[in-house]
Amino acid sequence: MDPALPISQIDHRLQSFVLRREHAPEAEVALGMDLLSRMMRYAIERTGYDSLQALSARLADRPWRRRIVAATLPARNARYWANYRAELVLDPRDHYRRLRIPILVLFGERDERLEVERHQAAYDSLARSGADLTLWVVPEASHGLMLGVNNSAGYPAGLHERLAHWVAQAAGVR
């Protein structure tokens, strides 16, 4: 399945990246992505629950399985599916457009969860449309804006001061 929704595409890429980083064979990555696709399909279209349940049960002993779905697949009518659907169809650009305050968006250059290049154009478009939007890409930083292997080097020097300065400027404080 090639999900059409932006959040679902991001989730597919993130989950496959995590499985590959953990050295899962490509066949296992494909099974994980199939499971994730079936979950998304059920959440969005409410179809295919039986095949999702069968695949989930078949993959129950895989070491990566709990990263994609909890130990027990939520029931067909569980509230989980409505919440998951809401997450999948969310387009944050709609929310940014409605804001009438300065917005600061931060990405780590080496973010493992978000693809900076993929989102850059969307943020540039929002800024051109009049949103008071500032986008910073923090060099060498991870998703948590930290440096080093496993974030061992902490935050980049001056990051907190730069953030404080931006907030003060956005608030009109001198």
Q: In whole angstroms, what separates CA 41 from the centre of its chain?
A: 18
Which of residues 89, 116, 139 is at a domain's end? 89
Question: Same domain for 25 and 77?
Answer: yes
Considering only CA atoms, give the Rg of the chain: 19
Q: Residue 133: what residue type? A: L
**Percent of the residues in the chain that have a pLDDT greater than 90, as a whole number:** 30
pLDDT in tens, 18-36: 788 888 899 999 999 999 9
80 and 118 part of one domain: no
Domain total of the chain = 2
> Where in the sequence is the domain holding 84, given as residue range(s)?
6-89
- pLDDT band of residue 7 (cuts 50, 70, 90) is low
Predicted confidence (pLDDT) per residue in 113-163, tens digit: 776 777 777 778 777 887 788 888 888 888 888 887 777 788 888 889 999
Kindly state the helix (H) or strand (E) to which residue 133 belongs, with its residue range.
Answer: strand 133-138
- Identify whether the C-beta of residue 54 lies closer than 8 Å to the C-beta of residue 48: no
pTM: 0.61
